[in-house]
Amino acid sequence: MESDSAALDTIEGKRILVFSEPIAGLRAFLVIDDVCGGMAAGGTRTRAYPAPIDAVHDACQLSRAMTLKCAIAGLQAGGAKMVVMDHPGLSRADAFRALGRRVQELGGLFQTAGDLGTTLEDLAHMAQTTRFVRTNERSLAAAVARGVRACAEACAATRGHADLRDLRVAVQGCGAIGAAVASALADAGASLHVADLDPAAASRVAKATGARVVEPDGILSADVDIVAPCATGGVINGESVEALRAWAVCGAANNILADEATGTLLVQREVLFVPDFIASAGAVIVGVCELQGRDDAESLIQQLGTTTREVLLEAAAEGTATTVVAQQRAEYMRQARRRGTTT
């Protein structure tokens, strides 16, 4: 475990828990960025990370995004993220049952659901040993999709369009989230281009939505109005910004921008960008509202569209990146909740 210790020594200001079950090949990291209202929410991601430090850094970035997501969505919850290191020796059933026991021991401090690389079967194994995991992937994906649609409609309104009818949208990624986003946008009247590294997944979504399938390496430069990254993060970078033909980026992937400089490049090219911690907040809204007995989840999801429009307008007026405006707004809302206020 020396590599784990070395990784943790490089991180400051985070609460990091290390979970290990050698017999099952489990090595996982839980990063709690913030606790608000007695809980932190975030998904469980499974990836073949090169080293523990890479897993920890990924969890740190994602947990911060979850804090921003919860704050700007109006939730009384903080952000967290758990990452599992995938490798040939990982006995997934035993590992995720062990992981569930660790989550259960936290007594509800951490509430989780699926994320990239974690399967429904993995979540089912976790659910055998903890009640603090949500396994209804389809419901959560649909909630994310409704939020993305609301935010995409806000982009359209900012550019003078009444709705998404006749607009062209390129959806990158056809997993559970991407498929749900494509369905929601198709229902709104958008004309779709879709792509996925799995051709069968792209074909299924195309058949269901009437979309055109394009090659994965061409989806971000497709001749469309809006690009919706719904797979891995960091896909919008200097190179892809130069290749963009769309006038807006609005998707469900976490940490869509490669870095802060990319946000500035989008401003220079006059491309609208909806910060992903706004666009993808639907799932955590539904999850937290259910846990806290709130009945306003749908109104909060629709409010994401209003928030998007306000952020886009403010950023345009100030000539700055939407990420800057949105992060400031989220931090203000987070501090207000800590003070017990609602403004």
* pLDDT of 1 higher than 50: no
pLDDT recorded at residue 3: 54
pLDDT recorded at residue 336: 82
List the 191-195 sheet strands across, edge first.
212-213, 191-195, 168-172, 226-229, 248-249, 272-273
Domain locations in the chain as residue ranges: 2-135, 138-336
* pTM score, whole prediction: 0.89
State the CB neighbour count (10 A cutoff) for residue 163: 13
Q: DSSP string spanning 213-264?
A: E--GGGSTTSS-SEEEE-SSS--B-HHHHHH---SEE--SSSS-BSSHHHHH
Each residue's pLDDT tens digit, 74-103? 999 999 999 999 999 999 999 999 999 999
* pLDDT of 13 higher than 70: no
Cα-based distances in Å from 58 to 49, 62, 84, 101, 255? 9, 6, 11, 23, 10
* pLDDT of 169 higher than 90: yes
Task: Please give the class, per CATH, of domain 2-135.
Answer: alpha beta
Each residue's pLDDT tens digit, 256-282? 999 999 999 999 999 999 999 999 999
Catalytic annotation, pick one of 14, 69, 81, 207: 81
* pLDDT of 341 higher than 60: no
207 labelled catalytic: no
* pLDDT of 67 higher than 50: yes
138-336 and 2-135 share a CATH fold: yes
The pLDDT > 70 percentage for the chain reads: 95
Fold of 138-336: Rossmann fold (3.40.50)
Residue 36 gets which letter from DSSP? B
Confidence of residue 343 (pLDDT cuts 50, 70, 90): very low
Question: What are phi and psi for residue 319, nearest 5 degrees?
Answer: 65, 35
* pLDDT of 2 higher than 50: no
- Provide the token pair at 159: 């550019």
* pLDDT of 63 higher than 90: yes
pLDDT recorded at residue 166: 87
* pLDDT of 213 higher than 60: yes
pLDDT recorded at residue 8: 58
pLDDT recorded at residue 4: 56
* pLDDT of 7 higher than 60: no
Each residue's pLDDT tens digit, 289-329? 988 889 999 999 999 999 999 999 999 999 999 999 999 99
